[in-house]
């Protein structure tokens, strides 16, 4: 709390270690102004680190006790392992023998099976001067009579093996002896290279999936394990004759291609019954204030219907609530008690994911928009086939039930690909002018193809009569408005960045990329509300490295002055995050602007004015 209380004005950033969903925790690495919060808490003594292995690491299985207890060595640590063992082998004669047992101490222990020395943790002192040890770089335990002291530097090196566990899906009751034997067979040689997929860090061990040639080895183990008998309230379809079963379903909410809420057809009758009873009966308002995670009944403002919901967030006199039978999130003012008969019924909408696709992950907004377009044709009614119920969320194949049986995943791939090609074509070699900028990391351009729209906006604003303009009811930050510039006596579309006083504002001119002070702001005319901002925020895709910002900005300003009024060619990349500038490549007079900037900064080529000279061609060989 202390860290966050001091961080209201700081930049918060996070990276996923593992992705969960509504029911599964996501683990993240959190930064505040680029300081790792977890490392700070650990360094200050407020927390202990969790064991984890990043997804996508290649590894070997160094030792197996069971499916829930095995050790891996990362392939990238092979050299470190070799160096430690080489050091122990070469210095075994000079290291001092262990004189006193200290549980947990790190020593060099002789593994009597191969007569080689390895780092080990002392576990227990046994009769006959023997010690029970854990070889920390491999994960196996053994007994030995010979232990040597090692330097603190060697002892403090992190162990090069990680204790791991596979996760048993809820659809099965236990790992069988046959599965344990199969796992030992798959991993016993220690020569196969696996790829990790992090599920859950832990204080003692890491829960992971092991991928072998893109196959999850759990898929080879589960057929050998006893299944749990399905109950009437389970919604994951079970396997039928060795293949995934299909069922009709209704898509109730789409947040992304990897977060789709389905209500299976077998639950439609129960959902209708719940809604009917909630809206027919007299509900009791909650007497106490609701708390996070509490189940309650709420009324949706849009349709005035009552639904079951779970509280996600407490706001000022409001609640943010997740409708558990439909997957939607709404804000409400009032809460009602949940009738007893509905308390134990599990959520009727479950989250699923389409098959993974790199284009979907890279272009989330575009993919979600395209998915909504596809689903309009079927009113959300689909046929669902569970492909991987061990994934989180489970992966499904969705098809639209018509004569063609359209596969939504395949059609979405084609649609996203087509839109990306169109965007790429639009963004290649477009003409623009730079309307405002002081740095290659942040400048604004106006695309020439938007000239007619910009002219329309300018004419509309020039024709405004100050007397007829309406004042803003509330001049709040981030509100769109019209600002008056006393410098050139013109009106501009703007975004209010901050309100200093009643008649002092800092505004951002959305069609030019300029920030200025204003004393008067007015309501935006209705015909200009839907016109998108015409200044595109950009950053050069290639910026000289190891150059101080002041020198970079000085060179950038000099080039802008040299090319003042000239038209650039610009190629931009699709931008998923609207808060960040578009990466742009500029050309001016057939030259790469980034290269001109590099030359200017390096002093190789100062900005030159074009010089024309009369000349006579005295000999011609070829064009080169």
The confidence band for 540, taking pLDDT boundaries of 50, 70 and 90, is very high
Spatial strand order of the sheet with 259-264 comes to: 350-352, 259-264, 246-256, 381-388, 395-400
The confidence band for 568, taking pLDDT boundaries of 50, 70 and 90, is very high
The confidence band for 470, taking pLDDT boundaries of 50, 70 and 90, is confident
Tens digits of residue pLDDT in 58-97? 999 999 999 999 999 999 999 999 999 999 999 999 999 9
Q: Is the four-CA dihedral 414, 420, 426, 429 of positive or negative sign?
A: negative
Q: What percent of the chain has pLDDT over 70?
A: 93
The confidence band for 245, taking pLDDT boundaries of 50, 70 and 90, is low
Name the phi and psi angles at 222, rounded to 5: -60, -40
Evaluate if residue 241 carries a pLDDT over 60: no
Residue 380's SS3 state is coil
Q: In 3D, which of 451, 397, 432 has the Cα closest to residue 586? A: 432
CATH of 246-283+339-400, one of 2.10.260, 1.10.760, 2.60.40, 2.40.50: 2.40.50
Name the phi and psi angles at 257, rounded to 5: -70, -20
Half-sphere exposure of 489 (CA within 13 A, CB side): 2
| DSSP one-letter string for 500-550 | EETTEEEEEETTTTEEEEES-EEPPPHHHHTSPPSPEEEEESS--SS--HH
The confidence band for 236, taking pLDDT boundaries of 50, 70 and 90, is very low
Name the phi and psi angles at 405, rounded to 5: 55, 55
What was the pLDDT predicted at 235?
A: 42
Tens digits of residue pLDDT in 10-56? 888 888 888 776 667 888 889 988 888 999 899 988 999 888 898 88
Instruction: Answer yes or no: are the C-beta atoms of 239 and 222 closer than 8 Å.
Output: no
Tokens of 566: 């000239």
Q: What is the 3-state secondary structure (H, E, C) of 246-298?
A: EEEEEEEEEEECCEEEEEEHHHHHHHHHHHHHHHHCCCCECCCCCCCCCEEEE
**Residue-wise burial string across 509-546, b where 16 or more C-beta atoms lie within 10 A, e elsewhere:** bbbbbbebebebbbebbeeeeebebbbbbbbbeebbee
DSSP 391: S
Question: For residues 78 and 199, what is the distance between their CA atoms, to the nearest angstrom?
Answer: 24
The confidence band for 463, taking pLDDT boundaries of 50, 70 and 90, is confident
What was the pLDDT predicted at 240?
A: 37
What was the pLDDT predicted at 604?
A: 47
What was the pLDDT predicted at 373?
A: 86
What was the pLDDT predicted at 206?
A: 94
Residue 458's SS3 state is helix
Question: For residues 23 and 352, what is the distance between their CA atoms, to the nearest angstrom?
Answer: 12
Q: In 3D, which of 163, 178, 132 has the Cα closest to residue 63? A: 163
Question: For residues 572 and 124, what is the distance between their CA atoms, to the nearest angstrom?
Answer: 64
What was the pLDDT predicted at 512?
A: 94
What was the pLDDT predicted at 441?
A: 92
Domain ranges of the chain: 1-39, 70-162, 246-283+339-400, 428-464+532-624, 465-524
Question: For residues 135 and 185, what is the distance between their CA atoms, to the nearest angstrom?
Answer: 22
Tens digits of residue pLDDT in 134-187? 999 999 999 999 999 999 999 999 999 999 999 998 888 899 999 999 999 888
Evaluate if residue 329 carries a pLDDT over 50: yes
Residue 553's SS3 state is helix
The arrangement of secondary structure in 70-162, i.e. its CATH architecture, is: Roll (2.30)
- β partners of residue 44: none
pTM for the structure as a whole = 0.45
Query: Residue with structure tokens 């790469």?
Result: 592
The arrangement of secondary structure in 465-524, i.e. its CATH architecture, is: Roll (2.30)
Q: Who has greater pLDDT, 392 or 337? A: 337
- β partners of residue 381: 250
- β partners of residue 386: 396
Residue 4's SS3 state is helix
Instruction: Answer yes or no: are the C-beta atoms of 402 and 613 closer than 8 Å.
Output: no
Strand spans (E) along 448-509: 480-485, 490-501, 504-509
Question: For residues 62 and 72, what is the distance between their CA atoms, to the nearest angstrom?
Answer: 5
Residue 359's SS3 state is helix
* 237-251, 268-282, 446-460, 560-574: least confidently modelled range: 237-251
* In CATH, 428-464+532-624 is 2.40.50.790: yes
Strand 514-518 relative to strand 243-244: parallel, antiparallel, unpaired? unpaired
Instruction: Answer yes or no: are the C-beta atoms of 172 and 228 closer than 8 Å.
Output: yes
Identical fold for domains 70-162 and 428-464+532-624, yes or no, is: no
Q: In 3D, which of 354, 412, 405 has the Cα closest to residue 382? A: 405
- β partners of residue 253: 261
* Segment holding 386, helix H or strand E: strand 381-388
Residue 94, C-beta contacts closer than 8 angstroms, at least 6 positions apart: none
Q: In 3D, which of 249, 264, 266, 334 has the Cα closest to residue 297? A: 334
Q: In 3D, which of 266, 261, 184 has the Cα closest to residue 217? A: 184
The confidence band for 402, taking pLDDT boundaries of 50, 70 and 90, is low
Query: Residue with structure tokens 């509905």?
Result: 342
Residue 552's SS3 state is helix
- The mean predicted confidence, pLDDT, of the chain is 86
Residue 267, C-beta contacts closer than 8 angstroms, at least 6 positions apart: 235, 348
Question: For residues 250 and 254, what is the distance between their CA atoms, to the nearest angstrom?
Answer: 11
Residue 344, C-beta contacts closer than 8 angstroms, at least 6 positions apart: none
Question: For residues 410 and 414, what is the distance between their CA atoms, to the nearest angstrom?
Answer: 6
Tokens of 228: 């749990």
């Amino acid at each position: 709390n202390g860290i966050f209380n001091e961080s209201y004005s700081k930049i918060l950033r996070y990276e996923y270690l593992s992705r969960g969903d509504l029911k599964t925790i996501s683990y993240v690495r959190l930064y505040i102004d680029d300081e790792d919060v977890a490392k700070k808490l650990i360094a200050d003594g407020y927390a202990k680190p969790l064991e984890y292995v990043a997804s996508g690491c290649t590894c070997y299985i160094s030792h197996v006790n069971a499916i829930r207890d095995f050790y891996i060595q990362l392939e990238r640590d092979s050299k470190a392992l070799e160096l430690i063992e080489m050091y122990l082998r070469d210095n075994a004669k000079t290291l001092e023998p262990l004189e006193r047992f200290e549980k947990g101490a790190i020593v060099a222990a002789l593994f009597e099976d191969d007569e080689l020395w390895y780092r080990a943790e002392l576990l227990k002192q046994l009769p006959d001067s023997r010690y029970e040890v854990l070889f920390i770089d491999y994960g196996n335990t053994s007994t030995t009579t010979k232990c040597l002291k090692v330097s603190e530097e060697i002892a403090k090196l992190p162990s090069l093996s990680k204790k791991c566990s596979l996760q048993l899906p809820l659809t099965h009751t236990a790992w069988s002896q046959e599965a344990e034997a199969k796992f030992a067979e798959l991993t016993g040689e220690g020569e196969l290279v696996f790829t990790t997929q992090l599920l859950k860090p832990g204080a003692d061990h890491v829960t992971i999936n092991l991928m072998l040639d893109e196959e999850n080895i759990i898929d080879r183990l589960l057929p050998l394990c006893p299944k749990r008998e399905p109950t009437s309230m389970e919604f994951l379809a079970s396997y039928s004759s060795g293949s995934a079963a299909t069922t009709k379903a209704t898509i109730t909410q789409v947040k992304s291609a990897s977060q789709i809420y389905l209500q299976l057809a077998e639950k439609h009758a129960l959902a209708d019954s719940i809604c009917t009873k909630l809206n027919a009966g007299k509900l009791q308002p909650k007497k106490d204030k609701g708390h996070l995670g509490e189940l309650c009944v709420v009324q949706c403002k849009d349709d005035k219907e009552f639904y079951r919901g779970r509280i996600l967030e407490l706001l000022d006199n409001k609640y943010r609530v997740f409708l558990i039978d439909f997957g939607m999130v709404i804000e409400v003012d009032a809460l009602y008690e949940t009738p007893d008969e509905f308390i134990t019924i599990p959520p009727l909408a479950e989250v699923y994911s389409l098959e993974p696709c790199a284009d979907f992950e890279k272009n989330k907004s575009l993919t979600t928009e395209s998915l909504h377009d596809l689903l309009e044709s079927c009113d959300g009614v689909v046929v669902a086939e569970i492909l991987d119920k061990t994934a989180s969320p489970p992966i499904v194949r969705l098809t639209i039930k018509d004569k063609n049986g359209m596969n939504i995943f395949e059609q979405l791939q084609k649609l996203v690909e087509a839109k990306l090609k169109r965007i790429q074509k639009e963004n290649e070699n477009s003409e623009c002018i730079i309307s405002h900028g002081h740095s290659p990391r942040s400048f604004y351009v106006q695309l020439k193809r938007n000239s007619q729209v910009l002219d329309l906006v300018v004419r509309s604003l020039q024709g405004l009569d100050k007397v007829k303009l309406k004042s803003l009811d509330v001049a709040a930050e981030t509100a769109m408005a019209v600002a008056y510039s006393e410098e050139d006596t013109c009106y501009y579309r703007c975004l209010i960045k901050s309100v200093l006083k009643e008649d002092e504002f800092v505004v951002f001119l959305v069609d030019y990329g300029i920030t200025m002070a204003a004393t008067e702001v007015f309501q935006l005319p209705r015909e200009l509300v839907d016109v998108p901002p015409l200044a595109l925020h950009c950053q050069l895709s290639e910026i000289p490295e190891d150059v101080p910002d002041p020198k970079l900005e000085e060179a950038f300003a000099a080039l802008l002055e040299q090319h003042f009024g000239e038209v650039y060619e610009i190629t931009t990349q699709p931008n998923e995050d609207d808060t960040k500038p578009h990466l742009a490549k500029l050309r001016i007079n057939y030259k790469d602007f980034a290269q001109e900037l590099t030359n200017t900064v390096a002093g190789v080529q100062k900005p030159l004015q074009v010089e024309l000279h009369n000349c006579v061609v005295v000999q011609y060989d070829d064009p080169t």
